[in-house]
Amino acid sequence: MSKVKVKRRELVQLADKYKPGKSKIAGWYMSEKLDGSRCFWDGGITRGMKTVDVPWAGLTHPKKLTPKEKVKPISTGLWSRYGNPIMAPDWFLDVLPNIPLDGELFAGRGNFQLCRSIVAGDEADDRWGQIQFAVYGCPGMINFTEPGLIKNASLYCEITEDCLQWVMEQGSKFLVDATFEEEYDHIAEMLENNPVAYTHLQRQLPQDESDAVEALEAYMTKVIELGGEGVIIRDGKANYICKRSKSLIKYKPVDDADGKLVGFTAGRGKYAGMIGALILELESGKRLELSGMTDDQRVLDVEGVGAEGKDLIGARAKCFNIGDVIEFRYRELSDDGVPKEARFNRVKR
């Protein structure tokens, strides 16, 4: 008997890439791509629950498929895209509406590392006053609970058929399947005068394709000049789906991607006794040796064992932890899907 193939999905909706000359964007909406931490507010239905009791919590090691050694024990209702509770303070959570919200925790342009240091902790940081919740969607829980397997470098979780029923039992009533335009109108009303969350501004592109492309390029230039990192473009008529979607696309000056840090190589020459490269596991399962770090970022706490250029065994770094999600930038993909000229950009969590 053949196995039933489990449908693959993501925890939240993810953006595909804009392809100049191929992507059709007339009448779509554009907004600045924020340099923050992606998050999902479940309306508060899991706030105060044990994390292990929440169906979408990241409890399993995605490679070993064993229980994670460390899980934040209590849910706040605010989740990272990898199924980890975000430990926001009560005063922040208390003023969020009782509907699901999808967006970005943001500390301003150029402040990604500050934002990450505040929102990624095991306890609520006293600097949360510097964080705002930029909201760009309110997906119905009927979309968020669609059955399927979430399997990537940082999250392994199966959403089962009974998840929607479980959500309803917790008191969630926001189950509707709405278009982005309908969601946008709703959050604008719900978040009016909210002290911690705001509706992320969307601009509609012209209905003529060439005019739309011209407007996009002009907006992209403005965003980059102001220190932003790119533009997100959305189909206003499309519905929210928990996967990488062609109705949601990102446009940046260079390509970027994420990988999971699984080890280090030993440095050569001037980097002897330091990190030579970060060893990343990509979503495709391929291995990537990544350079581009500063001298300070190459420093080791524990040197480990390994010849120059070879894998270090037992090494520990000052600036990196095994399991970190690393964002890198690259020029293009090789024929077998390996990023060319990849360079370290930042640690994402």
- The closest alpha carbon to 18, from 253, 179, 208, belongs to 253
Q: How many CB atoms lie within 10 A of CB 334?
A: 9
- The number of residues in the chain equals 349
pTM for this entry: 0.80
> Cα–Cα distance between 262 and 281 in angstroms, integer?
7
Count of alpha carbons within 13 angstroms of residue 273, beta-carbon side: 1
DSSP secondary structure letter of residue 73: S
Measure CA 72 to chain center: 18
Residue 1 pLDDT = 45
> Cα–Cα distance between 175 and 180 in angstroms, integer?
15
- Which single residue is written with the structure tokens 């208390």? 94
Instruction: Report CA-CA distances (Å) from 233 to 6, 177, 283.
Output: 30, 20, 23
Contact 97, 191 (CB under 8 A): yes
- Express each pLDDT in 157-174 by its tens digit: 999 999 999 999 998 878
Contact 338, 286 (CB under 8 A): yes
Amino acid at 205: L
Instruction: Please name each of the domains of the chain with its CATH number.
Output: 8-251 (3.30.470.30), 255-347 (2.40.50.140)
> Cα–Cα distance between 92 and 188 in angstroms, integer?
19
Residue 175 pLDDT = 78
Kindly state the tokens that stand for 322. Answer: 């095994």
pLDDT < 50 regions, the chain: 1
- Which single residue is written with the structure tokens 């509707």? 176
Judged on CB neighbours under 10 Å (0-12, 13-18, 19+), 328 is buried
Strands 156-159 and 148-151: antiparallel
Q: How many CB atoms lie within 10 A of CB 30?
A: 23
Farthest-apart Cα atoms in the chain, separation: 61
